[in-house]
Structure formats: structure tokens, C-alpha cells
Structure 1
Amino acid sequence: MRLLTKIILMAFMLPLFLACDGLDQPPIISQTPSALVSPPSSITLNGTDLEEVIVFNVSTADFGTETGVTYTVQMDRPGNDFASPVDLGSSTSTTIEVSAEELNRRAISKGIVPGETGPMEFRVRSVPTRNLSALLSEPVSISISTFADAEVLRNLFLVGEATARGWDNNNNNPPLFRDPENLDLYIYTGYFSTGGFKVLEVLGQWQPQYGTNDGSTISVNEGGGSDPDVFSVPSNGYYTFTFDLSTNSFSLEPLAAEATSFATVGIIGSGTAEGWDASTAMTALQFDAHIWNITATLSDGEMKFRANDAWDINWGSNTEISGKASQDGPNIPVSAGTYNIWFNSLDGRYILLEN
């Protein structure tokens, strides 16, 4: 009886299964990203008007459904495939204004020599308010003519019992290493003692002074206000301190393993006193043997860092003033002047502070 019931049920359901074959599949919703509208082939920045803005017009993105959209113009160097784009400006409308001064600074940080012209790639990133993926436009190449920005780059220095100079705020305190592309990002990998530390902008002055009041975001006393609390170090050891003023955030992460120490590290190159013939020795901190320092007068040219007066271990990069050098990297461009030069053999970061 049960078998007969099952057979009858299957006979009844069979037409329904067959009918399902004719059901329409869900339609594929087409989406169209925003794009730059009539982008210029070139942009000339002259620096005469600090309030000048560059206006980018973009088309409306179509997500196939009603949604609000935030449009962001992004830029990166050619050939980098937007691996590290910078956001120039955003808007919920299709008109995006970008500060000419900011565009100039970003173009220089991406490799265009101040006062010269070079290509940059631009694209539009469209982010919907609904739970949908962002859309990216195809890149567009625009030639940017930069101006020599007179703005002084912000330098930051460590102070506090957890650092090399203690609470002495004017004793050649080690600087944070500024990222060459995101000029608001600073990274310092090195030894810290148990205790606290802060970050200063000017040696010999207690303000501007940076710290944290909640353990996760950066607080600052520009002057006249209340000083923030310290960044805390839980125990002696090597850490990477990441300090990002563009997001007002920081982190202090233990270093997995200490790197090799070197007997000597020096600078060498056409821009140094000894040329390419010999290294000029740097001095390591007693507090941390991986942080090296020298005050040197350079001429227009190039330089590298190398260990033990030999070429087996050498570091180079293509960014002037600050950067992250790598083994056998390119020669570092340098301009004439006297600099307080710092190098970190743990991660290859360097910074030149003009005296």
C-alpha cells in the first residue's frame, strides 16, 4: 500500500518537475562604473594660489538598483596597477574638487620631481550606500606639471622613558621614519623599554605633543591645551610603532624576531664625501644597535647605505629625503645640503633631516 502511494505521488509530481525546466533564470543585473568626464590630457600646477582647486567631473555610476553613491578620485604612478592609490577627493555628487596644493604634494610623493612634469594615472572609485561591491573605472593617464612646494615636511621625534633619550626633548632624539608616499604615515621599528613615550614635532619644545588618551587613537596638544597621555610599552623588546595622522590611529606591535646586527653601517655614493670609493661611517645608538645616525654634508648626486664596508649587504631606494631601502635597491637621489641622516637596519627605512 505504501509503495502504491509513493508511485501515485511521483506520478502527480512529475509534470511539476518538468514544468520547472521552463522557468526563467534570474536576470543578470548590469552595472556601469563611474568615469572621469572629458579628462584633461595635462594639468599644470603653479603654486601661486594656495586656495586653487582642480575640478573633476565624473559620470553617474549605475549599480542596477537605486542607491546613494560616494565618488572618489584616486591616483597612482603609472605601471603600479593601483597597488597603493591615494584618495585625492570624494563627493556624493558627480563634481569632485581637489586642492591643487594636495595634488601637487601627492604627485611629488608618487615620484614626480618638484618643478617637473610626469604622468600619473587616475580612476574613479564608486562606493554605494547599499550592501554592494564598489565599482572602479578604467585608469586615465594625465600629465602633471608640479611646482617646488615650499611647505616644510613634518618631522616627528620620540621622547620618554621607553625610548633612547628618555624625557630629554632636545638630545638628537631618534625620528619616526616618514613614508615617502603617504606623508602623514610614520613607522618606527626598534627597541623600546617598559614604560611610556610621546611624539614631538619640534626638538626642544613640548608642543605640538602627540600621545593617546584612549589607547587606540592619537591625541595632540598643539599648544595651550592639555597634554595627552603616553603611548604605553608593556615590556622590554622590539616593536613596530605605526603612527598615521591621516586616520588619527596608531599601533604598537611586537617584532617577531630581531634582525642581524652589523659591525658598521655607512653611507656611500657620488653625493657623499668619499664618493663611491669608500663608506662614511655612521654611529649606532647604544640604546638600539639597529638605529644608525650621521650628520653629513652632501652634494647633488646619489648615495646608498652599506654594511661592513662591503657590497655584500647594501640598501637603496628611488625616493629622496625618506623611504624604505632594500637589498641591492636603486641609488637614493640626494640634493646638496647638510643633513642629519638616520637609517634603520631592521627594516631599511631612512630619513634625511635638513639642518
Structure 2
Amino acid sequence: MKSLFNIFFAVFALAFAWACTEEMEQVRISENPEAATITSPSAGQSFVLTEEDAGERMVFNYEPADFGYSAAVSYTVQMDVAGNEFANPTEVGTTNGTSLDLSYAEFNQKLVGKGLAPEEEAEIEIRVRSSVGSAVAANYSSPITMVVTPYLAALTFPRMYVPGDYQGWNPENENTVIYSVEGDDVYEGYVHILGGSGAFKVNEEPNWDVNYGGVNGVLEQNGPDIILDEPFGTFRLKVDLNAGTYEIGTRRVWGIIGSATPGDWETDTPLEFNADENVLTLTLDLVAGEMKFRADNVWDIDYGANSPEGGVLEQGGPNIPVEEDGNYTITMDWKVPGEITYSIVKN
């Protein structure tokens, strides 16, 4: 009886292996997969974008890629300045279909964010990236050239909201947000946690409908609060929705130092946190002299500038002049991607 069972098992195993081999043959990837082919816009076509036509639609059409087997293909339209050979492409958008549709206003944001000058004609290249997952190499269509003229518009980046104990667990606070400058679902920005429990989350909208928590750098939808352990401070937060991860950067405690401040050039006077405005701030008496912004009471990182009233800070910049004695409100603002600004207002 045992021998019959062994024979039956061997036959079953061979049949199963044959079936698996046949299935693997059916999904074998082509050695030369075909990339997508852009069909419109046509090469060399010109577009002059205007604010009046912001609601018009820009449509990119392409023939599908062929990886040699049936699979869900993700298509990403990419853009770069002509001649740059896609060294730093900007993602225009991603879809599973064979066309990508966005408004002139949305396309204009991509162009201005790329650094193209408003009201000036520029040549760009467009290509389509086709992907069936991380296990298979993506391929790219042959690029086409377009001539575009963007219009002047303030940049509005995709954002995620960062409610937490530090700001009263308010997901509607438009100041406590981080941005995806490239529009690629990778969000970065600065968070100021100077006390409390250190707990926070990241939300897709100014509500609790879609929120993320997690531990050890792994995001989880509706997961546990992310906890910043002490020491607290200001840190860069990076959230990658593609990889499902988050990163917490080095924490620093900021203050002011200088002959105009209570600590002179010997010790920092710590800045406080305004949860509503999401700025570091302090109201205090200053004397005529100079000051700088400094981290962690050491000279490893400091910021300065020329103006006695405010502006954009420069790392290692000049001492900031304080022209007369008085009571002042000082702010250090990290909200705008790529720059840190300050103000010094006499009360």
C-alpha cells in the first residue's frame, strides 16, 4: 500500500512540475520587449499655455508596450529639457491606460517647476516609461520634442498633512505639511517637535480618511502613531509612498546668539514653537548689535543674512544687524521648500 502511495505521489509531483513548467513558459518575458510608441502630440508640435486656457486638456497618447506576456503595465510620461538626455526627468503623470490626460494648469506647474521661464518659448523632450514591476527592467519609448511656452503661476506642490501632538492633532492645519516637489509621491519637509509625546502621523488630505503611521521606518495605512523619541528638535521628514517608508533626519534645537541677544556670543537663547503658524519664534528684548541663528549651541551649523528686518537665510551667512534696543518678535520659517526665511519685527 505504501509503495502504491509513493508511486501515486511521484506521478502527481511530475504532473505538477510539468504544469508549472508549462505555465512558466507561458509567462516567459520576451528577450526584446517592445517599448511604447508616442502617437500624440506629434513631434515638434508647439503649445502656448495661458492662464485663460488653464482648464484646457493636454493629452498624451501612446501605443502600448509589449513585454511578451499579458500583464498590467504602468506607464509614466516623463519630461526633460531638450538636450539633457533625461538626466533629471520630471514625471508628468502615471496611468495604466494608453493615454495621460491633464489640464494646462497642471502641465504648466510641471514646466515652471522644471525651471522653464514663464512667457518664454522652450524646447522639451517627452518619453514614456513602461513598467510591469520591480522584477522586470522598465523600458522607454523613443522621445519626441515639443516646443512649449509656460505662463507665470505660483508653484503649488502636492502635499501631505502632518498632524501630531506637537500641533494639537489638527489635520486641517495647512502650515504643518510636507511637499512632493517632483510630484513623484516622495514628500519632504521640516517638522518641529520640541515637547509632548513626540507622536504624529501623515495624512493624504486635511482629514483622517487616509492616514499613515508606522514603526522602524515602515509606513502602514491606519497604523500606529509614529513616535519621535527624545531628543526632540527640528528634523527633516521624508515620506515615500512608492516604497512605503518614512525617514526621520537629524534633530536640531535652534536658537539665536550674538551681541544683541541675552546670551551675547557665549550661549544660545532657544527659539519656541508656534503650532498654528508652524514657525520657530521668540519675543524678547534685544540691544543694538548683531545676531545669528544657530543649532544645538555649537558652531557646526549657523545661518545669517544682511537685512535687519528679514529675508532668506544663508548657511554660514553674515551676522544679522539689530539697529536699536527694543522688544522684538523673531521668527524662523522652514515651510517653503528649499529655503529658510526669517523676520525681526520691533514691537
TM-score, with structure 1 as normaliser: 0.51
| Structure 1 residues 136 and 127: CA distance shift in structure 2, 3 A | same
SS of equivalent residue, structure 1 residue 241? strand
Decide which of 301, 314, 324 is 1:305's aligned counterpart. Answer: 314
Given the alignment of the two structures, is residue 236 of structure 1 paired with residue 231 of structure 2, yes or no? yes
The 2-side partners of 1:86 and 1:77 are apart by 10
Partner of 1:47: 51
Decide which of 106, 110, 115 is 1:111's aligned counterpart. Answer: 115
Q: Mind listing any 5+ residue stretches in structure 2 that lack a counterpart?
A: 1-29, 259-289, 320-330
Given the alignment of the two structures, is residue 71 of structure 1 paired with residue 60 of structure 2, yes or no? no
The 2-side partners of 1:63 and 1:191 are apart by 48
- Aligned-CA RMSD value: 5.4
Please tell me the residue identity of whatever aligns with 1:307. G
The 2-side partners of 1:121 and 1:39 are apart by 9
The 2-side partners of 1:295 and 1:104 are apart by 36
Partner of 1:34: 36
| Contact 2:35–2:139, Cα closer than 8 Å, also in 1 | yes
Partner of 1:59: 63
Partner of 2:188: 186
The 1-side partners of 2:296 and 2:175 are apart by 12
Partner of 1:350: 339
Identical amino acids, percent of aligned pairs: 20
Give, in angstroms, the shift of residue 55 of structure 1. 1.5
SS of equivalent residue, structure 2 residue 51? coil
Partner of 2:130: 126
Please tell me the residue identity of whatever aligns with 1:54. M
Partner of 2:273: none
| Contact 2:90–2:114, Cα closer than 8 Å, also in 1 | no
| Structure 1 residues 154 and 59: CA distance shift in structure 2, 3 A | closer
Decide which of 86, 89, 93 is 1:89's aligned counterpart. Answer: 93
| Structure 1 residues 287 and 158: CA distance shift in structure 2, 3 A | farther
| Structure 1 residues 350 and 158: CA distance shift in structure 2, 3 A | farther
| Structure 1 residues 135 and 144: CA distance shift in structure 2, 3 A | same
| Contact 1:192–1:233, Cα closer than 8 Å, also in 2 | no
Please tell me the residue identity of whatever aligns with 1:242. K
- Within 5 Å, which residues of 2 pair with 1:1-355? 29-37=31-39, 38-78=42-82, 80-128=84-132, 132-149=136-153, 178=179, 180-182=181-183, 185-188=187-190, 193=195, 195-196=197-198, 208=206, 212=211, 214-215=213-214, 216=219, 231-237=226-232, 239-243=235-239, 251-255=246-250, 283-284=293-294, 296=309, 305-307=314-316, 309=318, 342=333, 349-351=338-340
SS of equivalent residue, structure 1 residue 102? helix
Give, in angstroms, the shift of residue 146 of structure 1. 1.0
Alignment size in residue pairs = 257
Q: Mind listing any 5+ residue stretches in structure 1 that lack a counterpart?
A: 1-27, 202-206, 220-227, 265-279, 311-339
| Contact 1:200–1:209, Cα closer than 8 Å, also in 2 | no
| Contact 1:120–1:142, Cα closer than 8 Å, also in 2 | yes
| Structure 1 residues 176 and 97: CA distance shift in structure 2, 3 A | closer
| Contact 2:256–2:291, Cα closer than 8 Å, also in 1 | no
